[in-house]
Chains A and B, each alone.
Chain A
Amino acid sequence: MSDHFEPVIVGFLCNWCSYRAADLAGTARIKYAPNLRPIRVMCSGRVDPQFVLQALRSGADGVLIAGCHPGECHYVNGNIKALRRFTLLRKTLEQWGIEQERVQLLWASASEGTVLAAAVNRMTEELRALGPLRWGEKVLGDNGAAHLVVEEV
């Protein structure tokens, strides 16, 4: 990797609000960090924590889960379930030593292209500051090196 670090963010965007918000941001020609790689799901309630973990495992530096505002979910309350899972996942990820900034939950309605764009910009900056995660090489990869010598303590 070159010395200049560009974080990669996977975004799980719900079909009805946040994905359309991203559409709107584009349509309105709002320029924001190109670091987000969106994946469309029907509802933020579809986001299986396994997706988040796999994203981190597969090299993402951060994950953004975006849904409709509470009360505006097109499936009534799928986003509330997303919030419950996110809250527990965040507590678990903390034990895994993964900084809170790396996995974020955002509410963005279809009309809030600016909100989504701003969130992506902010998150990109936060991840730049944190540096790369790149799980495979930086966390798992060191098993090879680390066990060769007993570390200096």
Chain B
Amino acid sequence: MTENGKPKLAMYWASSCGGCEISVLNIHENILTVDEVFDIAFFPCIADFKIKDVEAYPDGYIDICLFNGAIRNSENEEMAQLLRQKSKVLVAFGSCAYEGCIPALSNLTTKKATFEKVYFNNPTIDNPDRILPQHSTEVAEGELTLPHFYHTVKSLDQVVEVDYFIPGCPPEPPQIWAVLQVVIGALTAGQPLPPAGSIIGAGTMALCDECTREKKEKTIKRFFRPYEIQPNPDQCLLEQGIICMGIATRSGCGALCPSVGIGCRGCYGPPDGVEDQGAKMLSAIASVLDVGHESMDEDVLEELIQEAVDTIADPAGTFYRFSMAHSILKRVKNGKGAA
């Protein structure tokens, strides 16, 4: 690669879906500017540098590394260690690296249950010898190895220090471009970077700030599944009993899902000042559950509230849809969450 003064950019995926890369490509023609400003130092999806090459770099050789994907196996963790060592600025890019995202729903179940489901118990499996993938296998010609599959999916900052976090599944292209412009400004014109550890490429407050639906006082008698009612197109979905994570989710996407009549699922993670997105969502909607009164008999009261609460299907999987790895407890004690 060319040894000129251009800053070095790396983008790597661990346990991810590639959506982050697609979202980067969705800055469209601006990708050409990125190509002008940076030298690619490592970017499996677009260039041919190998792990060996990265290992050969001096520490801090890479100016900025966009790391997406969760830490699902030992290979992911080793790559995270390596890239932390070689990068000046390491960015947890996208929900997976930031807080675990959908892959971390796996923390609602166990490794054992996962292997059994995938390799033993499903309608199309043909595995008479009950074979499971192994870390090391002796085949006729020699040894084959696979990475260790972790019990718990972790976010990037749970295995290495992270300088910045860009939330979103995936981060929205305008936000990505805005961040890249800041970085370019800092690297080329010496403009200041945001304080280390900050969450960038997103707002600070809850999504409701961006949502155009009309909001009233919230008194909810029960909740509905999205197919059970036809929501009023202009009114706050939560008020209509459709679970919308917007109240406990960081702004930045522009409230896309509510704008097409689907409740926010929380992919931008919690807003500033909230540690555990799920717990806060839980607390908020339980508080406005408009059933039961202090003058009631205690048993009646508890029964009424239980009924209303039971209209919420799968609280854990809903409130922690994206933030499981970053939640206070991080995983379930056993597989109950998923089975």
Contact = CB atoms under 8 A, between A and B. Distances in A.
Interface stretch (A6-14, A93-101, A110-118, A119-127): A93-101
Given A49-B282, A83-B302, A85-B282, A153 B116 contact: yes
Contact of A53 (B276, B287, B331, B332): B276
A150 B329 contact: no
Interface of B: 73-74, 108, 111-112, 115-116, 120, 130, 132-135, 148-152, 154, 275-276, 278-280, 282-283, 285-287, 289, 291-296, 298, 301-302, 305-306, 309-310, 312, 314-317, 319, 327-337
Interface of A: 48-50, 52-54, 56-57, 69-71, 73, 76-77, 79-81, 83-85, 87-89, 91-92, 94-98, 107, 133, 135, 139-140, 142-143, 146-151, 153
Main secondary structure of the interface of B (DSSP, over half): mixed
Contacts of B337: 95-97
A100 B72 CA distance: 30
B314 A95 contact: yes
Nearest to A89: B282
Contacts of B154: 143
B334 A85 contact: no
A139 B331 contact: yes
Given A80-B293, A84-B292, A85-B286, A147 B73 contact: yes
Nearest to A55: B328
B329 A88 contact: no
A29 B108 CA distance: 45
A153 B115 contact: yes
A115 B301 CA distance: 21
